[in-house]
Amino acid sequence: MLHLVTDSTSDLLADEARALGATVVPLTVRFGEEQFLDGVDIDGPTFYGRLTSSPVMPTTSQPSPEQFGEVYRELLRDSADEVVSVHISAKLSGTMQSAHLAAQEFPAGRVHVVDSLSVSAGIQLLLRLAARNRDDGADAATIVRNLEAARDRTIVFVLLDTLTYLQKGGRIGRAQAFLGSVLNVKPLLQIHNGEVEPVARVRSRQQGMAKMVELVRDMGPLQSVAMMHTTVPEAAEELRGRLVAMLPELDISLGQLGPVVGTYGGPGLIGVAVLRAG
């Protein structure tokens, strides 16, 4: 049997993970001495309440190789079992390293670790592709090849309220070019090939959403689209409505960023992940 594994930066809800047949390995978020398993001990609403009120900036850490090893052992009980394990970009987290170390405990070909070169909704698009491939009877090697091809066609656009959280969390990458910008300018970034890159500076959320619609339109034709936000569900639904009107043939999901990814995005974030048609 072929099993899918991911980590909690995919921001899959428990019922979504079950529907995909995917096992989620949680990262950890800490407020000072308190630590919580992402999506297990703390959910999005609770986290964002603390993020905006706590004087302590949260920190995050990847799962240990032992955590991954425990999951892999549970899934590889039969000699015919295989795992395809899809994770956050290695340029953004040490999660891939832990997964690789755990995979080495098993015979070659039993665990296939894939760097999504993405995060959150971008990982979701790849997991849904992997699940469709699995359900169509594809073997692990074929799924890995398809994922590696699809990740190059995957881009996540992110409209932030502020760069503060990305900067303090040390994940700012090339978006540091936006530091020192005029106040009240909102940064529009993209995550592509595993890195955070600047796209544009806009004056308002409405202007940013209009720019995102334009960017998504120019990426077509598209195979799939998914959305996420941190604390602005109404604005995210408004943007989703515009995208649905433009892309009526696609089922566009919308979810909330979990605590670990939200640590770096901060309140007010809206994002759109797109997978271009191959």
Distances in whole angstroms, Cα of residue 99 to Cα of each of 88, 148, 205? 11, 17, 37
CA geometry: angle 122, 187, 203, nearest 5 deg: 130
Determine the pLDDT at residue 271. 98
pLDDT in tens, 68-101: 999 999 999 999 999 999 999 999 999 999 999 9
According to DSSP, residue 42 is labeled B
Residues of the chain with CATH 3.40.50.10170: 2-27+62-151
Q: What is the pLDDT of residue 162?
A: 84
> Domain 2-27+62-151's class?
alpha beta
Tens digit of each residue's pLDDT (9 = 90 or more) over 171-203: 555 545 455 554 568 899 999 999 989 999 999
Residue 67 is predicted with a pLDDT of 98
So what's the pLDDT on residue 173?
54
pLDDT reported for residue 185: 80
Question: Rg of the chain's alpha carbons, rounded to an integer?
Answer: 18
Q: Which CATH architecture fits 154-276?
A: 2-Layer Sandwich (3.30)
CATH 3.30.1180.10 in the chain: give the residue spans: 154-276
Query: How far are the Cα atoms of 19, 75, 87 from residue 81, in angstroms, in the given order?
Result: 19, 7, 20
Rounded to whole angstroms, the Cα distance separating 237 from 228 reads 10
Per-residue model confidence (pLDDT) at position 101: 98
CA distance 94 to 84: 18
Query: Looking at residue 251, what is its pLDDT?
Result: 96
The number of C-alpha atoms within 13 Å of 269 and in the hemisphere containing its C-beta is 32
Which phi and psi angles does 233 have, rounded to 5°?
Answer: -60, -35
Dig out the tokens for 240 from the structure: 């989703």
pLDDT by residue, tens only, the chain of 278 residues: 999 999 999 999 999 999 999 999 999 999 999 999 999 999 999 999 999 898 999 999 999 999 999 999 999 999 999 999 999 999 999 999 999 999 999 999 999 999 999 999 999 999 999 999 999 999 999 999 999 999 999 999 999 998 878 766 555 555 454 555 545 688 999 999 999 899 999 999 999 999 999 999 999 999 999 999 999 999 999 999 999 999 999 999 999 999 999 999 999 999 999 999 98
What is the structure's pLDDT at 182? Answer: 47
* Contacts (Cβ under 8 Å, ≥6 apart) of 123: 6, 9, 10, 11, 86, 87, 88, 116
Write the single-letter amino acid at 109.
G
Query: Tens digit of pLDDT for each residue in 216-229?
Result: 999 999 999 999 99
> Which pLDDT score, from 0 to 100, does residue 6 have?
98
